[in-house]
Amino acid sequence: RDGRETALARLQFELTEDDAGGLVCTLRAPYNPFDEKRASDDAGDVSG
């Protein structure tokens, strides 16, 4: 139990560190190429 919770906490931390909001949405929902494109567009807006 503790090992699994630690792994989950580490995964969440890594996702936060990578600022991977789009990836989190992808993990929670079925794959949708339109979501991936939207995430790429959002990343472009942030960086540019």
Q: Which range marks the domain in which residue 25 is found?
A: 21-48
- Residue 6 falls inside a structural domain: no
Q: Is residue 34 in a domain?
A: yes
Residue 1 lies in a domain: no
Asked whether residue 10 is assigned to any structural domain, the reply reads no
Whole-model pTM: value is: 0.23
2: left (phi over 0), alpha (psi -120 to 50) or beta: alpha
Question: Phi-psi region for residue 29, left (φ > 0), alpha (ψ -120 to 50) or beta?
Answer: beta
48 lies in a domain? yes
Which residues lie below 8 Å from residue 21, measured CB to CB, with a gap of 6+? 39
35 Cβ partners below 8 Å, 6+ apart?
Answer: 22, 25, 26, 29
Confidence of residue 6 (pLDDT cuts 50, 70, 90): confident
Instruction: State the pLDDT confidence band at 48, using cuts at 50, 70 and 90.
Output: very low
Query: pLDDT, tens digit, for every residue of 18-34?
Result: 555 555 544 555 656 66
pLDDT value at 8 more than 70: yes
The verdict on residue 40 lying in a domain is yes
Tell whether 11 is covered by a domain.
Answer: no
The number of distinct structural domains making up the chain is: 1
Here the tokens at position 9 are 């906490």
